Structure 1
Amino acid sequence: MHLDRRGFLKFAGITGAAAALAACGGPSTGGGGPAAVPEVDYSGVQPAKEITWWTNNPGSSETVSRQIIDAYQRANPGTKVNLVTAGATYEEIAQRFQTAQAGGGSQLPDLVVLSDVWWFRYYMQRSIVPMDPLIAATGIDTADYRQQLIEDYRYDGKLWALPWARSTPIFYYNKAHWQKAGLPDRAPATWAEMAEWGPRLQAAGTGAQKAYQLPALADYAGWSFQNNLWGEGGAWSDEWDVTCDSPEAVRAVSALQNAVTSGWAGVAATDGTTDLGAGAVSATVGSTGSLVTVLDAARFDVGAGFLPAGPVAGPVCPTGGAGLGIPAGVPPERQLAAAAFAKFLTSPENTVLFSQATGYLPLRTSADTGPLLAETPLRKIAIDQLDRTRTQDRARAFFPGADQEIARTCANILNQRADVQGELTTLKGTLTRIFDTDVKPNI
């Protein structure tokens, strides 16, 4: 059966982790969740000479990934890394990874790219291994990773992935449009300030359709709108408690709706950064992973800045992107070899190489980012904003299918002008059911 992104997310939202776990024998009913993945003693294990890495080549990164693989194979004669494009998106990789689990170790990759909203369901499914023993066996220096990025994969006292294609949303703007509207050459400090600037940009005769483009809801609503909610003192959830209908959350989403109904803001159909690059809008919020694409596409000077602050907190920003996980269903020698390659893949030198080619964040604090910043000074915005990041709300990142439900709710509010309080109250009920059915039995 073929599922497109929307169809697969619907499938995931309906069946969730419960169906995935059923394929592996079902969740435990003893109150403690499924049995933990046994930790392996790798001290006597010889790493395999050949492994397979599944990726979706985030940020059009296949060329640089193959370059890194070639360097690894030269440094480790007799080893082989097979790069497989397992899908065009994180969702397609997840679909293929789920199917492969039914076939056992021979069908599984040894290293797999898992996005911020997919890795936790594989923890619940017990289909990825804890990285801690592999980190010890291969000598990975976790202290040298940017802690805001690596700690996103820690749960239940263990680390379940290493960071790879990590990003944050940042504010992009067209400097020429800003100048024509008489605005200072910077991102707005607060969303209240953007609400003042929006009508000025809209009336400035820039040729843009909208002063500001909210990012495409299917990909960004649950992620980037956390900034808006947090800035008002709200959140999608507080730990496991769903709080998306709180007065603070209602105020945050109402402000977004007001921006659209006022006429100076629109909602991207596919990609706000593409709209910006084409000159159709004056500003948008997009991933740092889109930086290279935006700069290549734009025929104007691009400005960038931190996400605007709210009245309660800010500037505050979520992290996102993808990490590298190792399946539990492959033999220890392949797990060990995969960890050794992941160590090389995320080395200080290679994280700069990957960042240079894509715009994703350099992962290591010891990485020499000087040449990177000299080539593209705007990258410093994303790196500096890491000090203002916050771990994502569990309802968005840990609840299977929640991202789709949040996007659907935001579409009703922003595109259909639905009642904010009513929609968010309905969303709370939906997310609570997902937790009770698909999450609570498996943690």
Structure 2
Amino acid sequence: MFPSGPARQSGELSRRGFLGLAAAGLSATALSACSGPSTSSGTTSDKHQQIDFTGVKPAREITFWSSNPGSSQEVTQQIIDAFHQSQSDIRVQLVTAGSNYEDIAQKFQAAQAGGKLPDLVVLSDVWWFRYYLQDSIIPLDSAFTALNWDTSDYREQLVSDYKYDGATWAMPWARSTPLFYWNKAHWAAAGLPDRAPTTWTEFAEWAPKLKAANAGIQNAFQLPALAGYAGWSFQNNLWGWGGSWSAKGAFDITCDKPESVAALQFLADAVYKNKWSGVAGKDSTNDLSAGAVSATVGSTGSLVGILKVAKFDVGAGFLPGGPAATSPVCPTGGAGVGIPKKIKPENQLAAATFIKFLTSPENTLKFAQATGYMPVRKSADPSSLIAKAPQSKVAIDQLAATRNQDWARVFLPGADQEMANACAAILTKNAEVQGEMTKLKSKLEGIYTSQVQPHLK
């Protein structure tokens, strides 16, 4: 649901290098995606210029555009109300600007062309660098100074995803990892150990037992809905088999390699040959919550919703590994918040003031308790969160074993949709895996060759 991953220390320099090159040379056409915002406006000459907030008085009223990730509208409004109670200088209006990250991206893009801009906007971790490239967001570092805002308490794995070239372009807010969820009652009926499978091969051995012991279930496992999420969630399977969409920290497309093909063939066999898995039409976590399937993979942002609906004990564990690797095989996801460039400094400073409050230790914990997202501050004591939902500890623990996503997915415009289309052909139409991955490689290389490579120096 929430696709993206933070830059790890091991790959941070090379990723930063790409973005720096892209900032210097990518044209509007090059960064125009098949979905999400285009980059048809803006220049690259002054992107790193920090805003001088000396003598600036925060605006009295600001708007916050959100897609309410993880059904977070209510808790976000509660935090806004608490902000109003804490001071009387700034009022925040929460605006639902779309139902998902793509919706809000399109609306934000439209506003760049002449509409009314927000003062604070949700930035998907997949799309935020496009806003940077079109010169539509500001670096936040001078606001940190102006507000005496110490950012060292933020979880480095999350905040570093928005840093490069010596500037910080957003702050983490609704951040997640995918988890393996299961129905403990189904597990018990099948006589399985009360834990997530260590590998997908182990789960394949468990699946017939689950189906035999739980008459009436649709599937032992439900694959996530493919539109928009296949490229994200199936990185786990590819990495576990030693494959990938593209080579680590590079644009070398590897989706057609034997390891990648084997990982996707395993999923195809689970659906068609061994018949223990299905594919969700809309939301696999809803299928799990309804008791229709025994297990699925979903965002930590779905945790609270699952617990509210499910009439059984819900298990949550690390993502399974594969025959080549069991760690790290998990990407992170979610969104941060940033500030538009084409608004007044008074509004920018007011927005930064609210971000500081929004992501405080107290409020990141409140947000996590209400949604299932991870606390983004190290000093936020998760004990009350874990006491209320022990499953949330899994997400926090798994954070240390995450891996930044393949460049082919996050940096090639429109690649995510191409991945989803290829996976849909394989998993809903029983298309031949090698053939689909060969075609996908050709499409991804075409995107790179025509839209990215000519602009890299």
Give your verdict on TM over 0.5: yes
Alignment counterpart, residue 123 of structure 2, candidates 108, 114, 132: 114
Pairwise CA RMSD: 2.0
Offset of residue 57 of structure 1 = 1.2
Letter in 2 for 1:247: P
CA contact (8 A) 1:124 1:442 kept: no
Is 1:60 aligned with 2:58? no
- In 1, Cα distance between the equivalents of 2:384 and 2:66? 27
Flag the 1:438–1:333 CA change in 2: closer, same or farther, 3 A. farther
Give TM-score, length-normalised by structure 2: 0.87
Alignment counterpart, residue 263 of structure 1, candidates 252, 257, 275: 275
Aligned to 1:305: 317
Aligned to 1:30: none
- In 1, Cα distance between the equivalents of 2:391 and 2:281? 26
CA contact (8 A) 2:36 2:127 kept: no
Between stretches 111-120 and 137-146, larger displacement belongs to: 137-146
Is 1:187 aligned with 2:196? yes
Offset of residue 16 of structure 1 = 6.9
CA contact (8 A) 2:39 2:130 kept: no
Offset of residue 13 of structure 1 = 4.3
Aligned to 1:140: 149
Offset of residue 232 of structure 1 = 1.8
CA contact (8 A) 2:50 2:140 kept: no
- In 2, Cα distance between the equivalents of 1:351 and 1:359? 11
- In 2, Cα distance between the equivalents of 1:390 and 1:156? 21
Is 1:373 aligned with 2:383? no
Aligned to 2:354: 341
Aligned to 2:93: 82
Offset of residue 195 of structure 1 = 1.4
Letter in 2 for 1:84: V
Aligned to 1:46: 57
Deviations 1:367-420 (A, max 9, x none): 021111111111111111111111122222233322211111100111111121
Map 1:415-430 → 2, pairs under 5 A: 415-430=428-443
- In 1, Cα distance between the equivalents of 2:326 and 2:370? 30
- In 1, Cα distance between the equivalents of 2:58 and 2:257? 51
Map 1:27-426 → 2, pairs under 5 A: 34-37=44-47, 38-103=49-114, 107-238=116-247, 239-241=249-251, 242-261=253-272, 262-315=274-327, 316-426=329-439
- How many equivalent pairs are there? 421
CA contact (8 A) 2:36 2:102 kept: no
Offset of residue 235 of structure 1 = 1.7
Larger helix proportion of the pair: 1
Deviations 1:26-69 (A, max 9, x none): x7xxxxxx434133222343322221110011122111111111
- In 2, Cα distance between the equivalents of 1:77 and 1:168? 36
Flag the 1:429–1:123 CA change in 2: closer, same or farther, 3 A. farther
- In 1, Cα distance between the equivalents of 2:46 and 2:242? 36
Give TM-score, length-normalised by structure 1: 0.90
Flag the 1:102–1:63 CA change in 2: closer, same or farther, 3 A. same
- In 1, Cα distance between the equivalents of 2:46 and 2:267? 42
Flag the 1:139–1:313 CA change in 2: closer, same or farther, 3 A. farther
Between stretches 59-68 and 287-296, larger displacement belongs to: 59-68
Offset of residue 225 of structure 1 = 0.9
Flag the 1:244–1:132 CA change in 2: closer, same or farther, 3 A. farther
| 1:286 partner SS | strand
Letter in 2 for 1:289: G
- In 1, Cα distance between the equivalents of 2:280 and 2:157? 29
Flag the 1:123–1:394 CA change in 2: closer, same or farther, 3 A. farther
Offset of residue 240 of structure 1 = 4.1
| 1:140 partner SS | coil
CA contact (8 A) 2:240 2:326 kept: yes
| 2:376 partner SS | coil
Percent identity of equivalent pairs: 61
| 2:335 partner SS | strand
Offset of residue 317 of structure 1 = 0.8
Letter in 2 for 1:21: T
Letter in 2 for 1:310: G
Aligned to 1:6: none
Deviations 1:150-190 (A, max 9, x none): 12223444322111111110000011111111111111011
CA contact (8 A) 1:16 1:438 kept: no
Offset of residue 314 of structure 1 = 2.3
CA contact (8 A) 1:16 1:400 kept: no
Offset of residue 437 of structure 1 = 4.0
- In 2, Cα distance between the equivalents of 1:144 and 1:311? 37
CA contact (8 A) 1:47 1:334 kept: yes
Offset of residue 438 of structure 1 = 4.1
Flag the 1:243–1:160 CA change in 2: closer, same or farther, 3 A. farther
Alignment counterpart, residue 21 of structure 1, candidates 36, 39, 53: 39
Flag the 1:277–1:67 CA change in 2: closer, same or farther, 3 A. same
- In 2, Cα distance between the equivalents of 1:337 and 1:90? 24
Aligned to 1:8: none
- In 1, Cα distance between the equivalents of 2:377 and 2:279? 35
Aligned to 2:20: none
- In 1, Cα distance between the equivalents of 2:137 and 2:421? 30
Deviations 1:95-150 (A, max 9, x none): 1101000116xx11111002122212212222112223323332333221112211
- In 1, Cα distance between the equivalents of 2:98 and 2:56? 31
- In 2, Cα distance between the equivalents of 1:125 and 1:218? 26
- In 1, Cα distance between the equivalents of 2:219 and 2:35? 38
